[in-house]
C-alpha cells in the first residue's frame, strides 16, 4: 500500500494551480490575450540586471567544480557569511554564518523549519488569510493547524483572538507580512502586541513558542511602509526567506532560513534545522544560485511596476463598486466577492474570462485574490470585463 495522504495530496492540486492550469488550456483555445489570468503569484517584473551579470561573471571566472558541485549541506560558508553580513547591515540582528541555512526557496524554508520545531500533535497558529500550503507543510511535519481570525476589513491580526487560540500545546506561529493573499503589512504596533502575548504565554506554559517569519515579499512594499524585522522584537524567531519574489527568481529555488542568535537554544535549533534539511533531502541548495545571490546582494527589482498595477486595479475596482483591501505590499488584491459564495463569484467572473482565486482555502470565505503581477496591459484590457461583472450584480 502506498502512502494514502501523499496520494491524496498529489491527486488534488491546490486551487491556485488548478486555475492556473485551466488558464493555460483556455489560452490555447481562445488566445492568451483574451484570457485575463490573475491566478498565480509568478513575478512579472524582470530580475535585476545584477543577476545576469553575476551569472555571466561567475561562468567566465569561476571553476565549474565550484559552481556546479556540492556545497556544504547547509550552504557555502562564504555565501552564508555574506548573507549574514547583509542582514546585520540592514537590521542589526547579530546573525552569523552559522545562523543561516540555504534552502530551495520559502516552501523549503518553511517545511524544514516546521519539521525542526514541531513534535507530533503540537499546534502551529496561522493568521487568516494565509498561504494555502501552510496546511500541507504543518501537517506533513506532524503538527496541527490552528487558525486565528483577523480584524474585519483591515485584515490585521486580531490580538485577542490570537491570544485565545494559544494553548499549552502551541509550539509555533507563522507570520507572513507582506501577506499573501491580502497584501496587508502588519503594523509595528500589531507586531509588538503579538510578541508581548507570546512572551506572556511562553512564561505561563514554561516552554518556548517559536515565531516563524515567512518573508518572501519583504522587499515588495509601496511608499514608505516599513516591515518590522521580527528577530528584533522576539528572541525565539526563525526567518524563512526566499529570493523568489524579491529578485523575481521563483524557478531558481533559492532562499534561506535564519535562526535568531538571541534565542536561548539557538545552536540546538540550528542543528535541528540541519537535521530536518537532511531528513527531508533538502541539502546543498542550488550551488550556482547560492553564488549568484552572494554577488547580487543588495540588488532590487523595480517595485514601482507593481505599484502602478496596484493603483490601476485598486482605483478602477473600487470605482466600479468592489470592496478591496488596499495592499501595502506583495502583489495581490484581496477583493470581497459580490455574492457570499466566493466560488460562485469565481465561476461568474470566469464566464467573462477573468480568472481570480476564491479564498476559502486561505481561511477567509467570501473573498477572492487577484494576483496583479502581470503585464499592465492585461489589467487595462480586463477592466471592462470587471466593470460588466459588477454591473451584472447590480441588476
Residues at the site binding ligand PLP, with contacts judged by CB under 6 A: 41, 105-107, 131, 176, 180, 214, 216, 242, 244, 250, 255
CB 131, min distance to ligand PLP, A: 4
Whether 327 and 372 have beta carbons less than 8 Å apart is answered as no
CA dist 72 and 285 (Å) reads: 9
Q: Which is nearer to ligand PLP, 105 or 382 (by Cβ)? A: 105
Q: Which is nearer to ligand PLP, 80 or 253 (by Cβ)? A: 253
Q: Which is nearer to ligand PLP, 266 or 328 (by Cβ)? A: 328
CA dist 335 and 279 (Å) reads: 40
Whether 136 and 298 have beta carbons less than 8 Å apart is answered as no
Q: List Cβ neighbours of 16 (8 Å cut-off, separation of 6 or more).
A: 39, 40, 41, 132, 357
Q: Which is nearer to ligand PLP, 129 or 201 (by Cβ)? A: 129
All three cell numbers of 72: 556544504
All three cell numbers of 65: 567544480
Q: Which is nearer to ligand PLP, 335 or 389 (by Cβ)? A: 335
Pairing of strands 367-371, 170-176: unpaired
CB 118, min distance to ligand PLP, A: 17
CA dist 56 and 347 (Å) reads: 46
Q: Any idea which residue has 503589512 for its cell?
A: 185
CB 82, min distance to ligand PLP, A: 19
Q: Which residue is nearest to ligand PLP (CB)?
A: 105
Q: Which helix (H) or strand (E) holds 392?
A: helix 376-394
| Torsion sign (Cα): 379, 25, 43, 227 | positive
In 3D, which of 122, 243, 217, 99 has the Cα closest to residue 173? 122
Q: Which is nearer to ligand PLP, 20 or 131 (by Cβ)? A: 131
CB 255, min distance to ligand PLP, A: 5
CB 283, min distance to ligand PLP, A: 17
CB 112, min distance to ligand PLP, A: 11
CB 136, min distance to ligand PLP, A: 11
Q: Which is nearer to ligand PLP, 107 or 333 (by Cβ)? A: 107
All three cell numbers of 310: 496596484
CB 150, min distance to ligand PLP, A: 15
Q: Which is nearer to ligand PLP, 236 or 244 (by Cβ)? A: 244
| Torsion sign (Cα): 361, 376, 249, 79 | negative
CB 242, min distance to ligand PLP, A: 3
Q: Which is nearer to ligand PLP, 170 or 242 (by Cβ)? A: 242
Burial class (CB in 10 A: 0-12, 13-18, 19+), 314: buried
DSSP 379: H
CA dist 88 and 102 (Å) reads: 17
Output phi, psi for 90, to 5 deg.
Answer: -80, -40
Amino acid at each position: 500500500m502506498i502512502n494514502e495522504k501523499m496520494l491524496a495530496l498529489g491527486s488534488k492540486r491546490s486551487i491556485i494551480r488548478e486555475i492556473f492550469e485551466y488558464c493555460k488550456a483556455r489560452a490555447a483555445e481562445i488566445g492568451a490575450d483574451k484570457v485575463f489570468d490573475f491566478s498565480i503569484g509568478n513575478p512579472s517584473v524582470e530580475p535585476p540586471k545584477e543577476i545576469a551579470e553575476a551569472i555571466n561573471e561567475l561562468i567566465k571566472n569561476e571553476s565549474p567544480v565550484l559552481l556546479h558541485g556540492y556545497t556544504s549541506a547547509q550552504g557555502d560558508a562564504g555565501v552564508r557569511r555574506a548573507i549574514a553580513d547583509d542582514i546585520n547591515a540592514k537590521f542589526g540582528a547579530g546573525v552569523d554564518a552559522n545562523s543561516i541555512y540555504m534552502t530551495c526557496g520559502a516552501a523549503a524554508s518553511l517545511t524544514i523549519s516546521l519539521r525542526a520545531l514541531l513534535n507530533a500533535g503540537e499546534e502551529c497558529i496561522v493568521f487568516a488569510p494565509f498561504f494555502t500550503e501552510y496546511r500541507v507543510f504543518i501537517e506533513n511535519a506532524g503538527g496541527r493547524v490552528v487558525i486565528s481570525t483577523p480584524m474585519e476589513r483591515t485584515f490585521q491580526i486580531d490580538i485577542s483572538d490570537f491570544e485565545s487560540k494559544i494553548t499549552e500545546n502551541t509550539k509555533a506561529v507563522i507570520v507572513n507580512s507582506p501577506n499573501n493573499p491580502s497584501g496587508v503589512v502588519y503594523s509595528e504596533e500589531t507586531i509588538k502586541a503579538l510578541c508581548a502575548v507570546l512572551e506572556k504565554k511562553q512564561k505561563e506554559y514554561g516552554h518556548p513558542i517559536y515565531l516563524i517569519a515567512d518573508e518572501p515579499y519583504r522587499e515588495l512594499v509601496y511608499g514608505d511602509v516599513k516591515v518590522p524585522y521580527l528577530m528584533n522584537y522576539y528572541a525565539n524567531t526563525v526567518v524563512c526567506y526566499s529570493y523568489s519574489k524579491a529578485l523575481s527568481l521563483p524557478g531558481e529555488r533559492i532562499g534561506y532560513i535564519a535562526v535568531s542568535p538571541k534565542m536561548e537554544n539557538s545552536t540546538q535549533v540550528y542543528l535541528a534545522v540541519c537535521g530536518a534539511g537532511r531528513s527531508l533531502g533538502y541539502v546543498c541548495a542550488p550551488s550556482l544560485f547560492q553564488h549568484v545571490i552572494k554577488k547580487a546582494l543588495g540588488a532590487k527589482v523595480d517595485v514601482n511596476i507593481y505599484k502602478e498595477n496596484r493603483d490601476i486595479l485598486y482605483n478602477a475596482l473600487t470605482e466600479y463598486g468592489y470592496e478591496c483591501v488596499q495592499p501595502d505590499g506583495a502583489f495581490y488584491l484581496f477583493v470581497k466577492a459580490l455574492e457570499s459564495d466566493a466560488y460562485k463569484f469565481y465561476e461568474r467572473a470566469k464566464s467573462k474570462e477573468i480568472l481570480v482565486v476564491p479564498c476559502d482555502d486561505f481561511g477567509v470565505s467570501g473573498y477572492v485574490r487577484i494576483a496583479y503581477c502581470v503585464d499592465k496591459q492585461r489589467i487595462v484590457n480586463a477592466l471592462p470585463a470587471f466593470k460588466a461583472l459588477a454591473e451584472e450584480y447590480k441588476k
